[in-house]
């Protein structure tokens, strides 16, 4: 699969906002270049439909990718499974792009970290670190105490991921 460059990703989001309908959430490594953080390349777009209507548009999403020269496999829906497990709330969704028919959200810092925590590889950790810096710049680091408590609980059961979770805990200050 071909790497997504920031210009192609921005074009994808613009077209998705105009052609898809409803509410969508951009997560994963793709989120970082979408907010102007270009630290690593990625090959897939983790764009999740947030409702039943959106879930029925998966074929349109793949057609959209293909129309921009991307492989249909570049659209990754696996994150939807993990999103459901987080028990996210509407306040965890921040508008990233509003198109003619669809709104594409980005996750709050807490939701982003919760989505990354299950795996939390070194690249996931770096993504979390950079997203924290971005969120601080946007002045939207919410409920630090709650996030720190969650990280501490998660670190107790995390096994090999515990050191990285504890580093995230420290970064919150």
The 10s digit of each residue's pLDDT in 93-147 is 999 999 999 999 999 999 999 999 999 999 999 999 999 999 999 998 878 999 9
162: domain range?
109-173
Q: Which is it for the CA torsion 94, 138, 97, 44, positive or negative?
A: negative
26 and 64 in a common domain: yes
Q: What mean pLDDT, rounded, does the chain reach?
A: 92
The residue among 90, 107, 124 that closes a domain is 107
pLDDT at 68 over 80: yes
The 10s digit of each residue's pLDDT in 3-22 is 678 888 899 999 999 999 99
113 and 75 in a common domain: no
pTM: 0.93
- 110: closest CA among 56, 66, 64, 154? 154
The residue among 80, 107, 134 that closes a domain is 107
């Amino acid at each position: 699969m071909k790497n997504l460059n920031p210009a192609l990703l921005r074009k994808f989001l613009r077209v998705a906002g105009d052609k898809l309908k409803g509410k969508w959430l951009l997560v994963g490594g793709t989120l970082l270049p979408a907010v102007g953080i270009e630290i690593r390349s990625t090959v897939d777009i983790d764009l999740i439909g947030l409702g039943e209507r959106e879930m029925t548009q998966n074929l349109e999403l793949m057609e959209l990718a293909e129309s921009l020269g991307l492989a249909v496999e570049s659209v990754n829906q696996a994150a939807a499974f993990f999103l459901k497990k987080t028990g996210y709330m509407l306040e965890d969704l921040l508008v990233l792009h509003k198109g003619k028919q669809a709104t594409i959200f980005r996750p709050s810092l807490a939701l982003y970290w919760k989505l990354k925590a299950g795996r939390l590889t070194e690249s996931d950790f770096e993504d979390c670190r950079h997203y924290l810096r971005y969120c601080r710049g946007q002045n939207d680091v919410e409920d630090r105490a709650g996030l720190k408590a969650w990280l501490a609980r998660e670190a107790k059961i995390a096994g090999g991921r515990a050191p990285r979770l504890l580093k995230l805990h420290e970064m919150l200050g």
